[in-house]
Amino acid sequence: MKRVAILISGGGSNMVRLVEEMQAGRIDGAPVLVLSNRPQAAGLQRAAALNVPTQALDHKSFPDRAAFDAALHDALTAAQPDIVCLAGFMRILTPEFTAKWEGKMLNIHPSLLPLFRGLHTHRQALEAGVTVHGCTVHGVTAALDDGPIHGQAVVPVHPNDTEADLAARVLVEEHKLYPAVLAALCAGRTPHIAQSGAFPEA
């Protein structure tokens, strides 16, 4: 069974889905740590309620990015994870840090990479006028929102969609895609997953 650590910054709905699937035995993994860079993140309470060890590492109490990343590395090393899942973890990581975890660290990003890296991905999609959008799970490398793609899920963009509409539609797919990718990795497979959700009849 793989040891899985999950890094969050907010509500942690993706984290909850990963933990639930592990605890239900549908993923051959054990959640060993949920860590947030924001002590007030609601996801920490949700993890604790699921009996997963939690830790807060407030990035504001570190002088710079390198110092925070060094502490994050130490916290992760202590938990001895085989796989680290970024799940709404809203921190840019230093190349020194990502080099230490490359091959073991995953991220979920709310766009069809390589489109729309960075923040406000749903706004970017609406502004670009695309008719499909979605989410990507990929391996973490030094470059932001880059790295090998393990899975993608596609949703339609409707003409009068707001950012919130699109975010909600994509999140439903995130909650299916991330567990599917983690399940494959924990089973020793290299994931290459394509999913689609909520398309109207042609």
Per CB under 6 A, does 171 bind ligand GAR? yes
Q: Smaller CB distance to ligand GAR: residue 47 or 185?
A: 47
The kind and range of the H/E element at 5 are strand 2-8
Q: Closest separation between CB of residue 20 and ligand GAR, Å?
A: 13
**Residues 2, 6, 7, 12: which binds ligand GAR (CB under 6 A)?**
12
Both tokens of 168, joined, read 């909600």
Per CB under 6 A, does 31 bind ligand GAR? no
Q: Give buried/exposed letters for 130-155 (b at 16+ CB in 10 A, else e).
A: beebbbbbbbbbeeebbbebbbbbbb
Q: Is 133 a catalytic residue?
A: no
Q: Closest by alpha carbon to 170, among 149, 146, 198?
A: 198
Q: Which residues pair with 154 in a beta bridge?
A: 134, 196
Q: Closest separation between CB of residue 92 and ligand GAR, Å?
A: 9
How far apart, in whole angstroms, are the C-alpha atoms of residue 15 and residue 56? Answer: 15
Q: Assess whether the previous peptide bond of 114 is cis (omega < 30° from 0).
A: yes
Per CB under 6 A, does 150 bind ligand GAR? no
**Residues 83, 108, 153, 183: which binds ligand GAR (CB under 6 A)?**
108
**Residues 33, 87, 112, 157: which binds ligand GAR (CB under 6 A)?**
87
Per CB under 6 A, does 140 bind ligand GAR? no
Q: Smaller CB distance to ligand GAR: residue 29 or 88?
A: 88
Residues designated catalytic? 109
